[in-house]
Structures are given as C-alpha cells and as structure tokens.
Amino acid sequence: MTCTVLVWAAVLIALPLIVLFWLTESQQQRCRRLRRNGWSQQRIADHLRISRSTVKRRLTAA
C-alpha cells in the first residue's frame, strides 16, 4: 500500500514538470529529440506538420 502511494505521489509531482518541458520545447529541440529516437526526417516532418527541408535545417542548425 505504501509503495503504491509513493508511486502515485511521484507521478503527480513529475507529470506537471514533463508537461511544462513539452510545452516549452522549441521546434528545433523537438526535431533533434525525435531524430535521436530514430525517427526519419520525413516522419518528423509529417508529425510536426512541417516540410522535410525545414526538419533538415532544424537538425543542422548550430
């Protein structure tokens, strides 16, 4: 019982932080994160509803 309560407490604390991170993530950061996770440039473009050339620019930007 105590373990379950601790798990739920951790989730309730972490969830707002995860949402905040997701909402403040830039398009460039999102492209890079998806690419690190093995997504193709075309799949990223489709997911973010941008062109593949925009994804390529975001990935190669300094």
Taking only the tens place, the pLDDT of each residue in 24-61 is 999 999 999 999 999 999 999 999 999 999 999 999 98
What are all long-range contacts of 33-36, with beta carbons under 8 Å and residues at least 24 apart?
35/59
pTM: 0.69
Of 21, 14, 17, the residue nearest 6 (C-alpha): 14
Please, are residues 28 and 61 in contact by the beta-carbon 8 Å criterion? yes
Residue 19 pLDDT class (50, 70, 90 cuts): confident
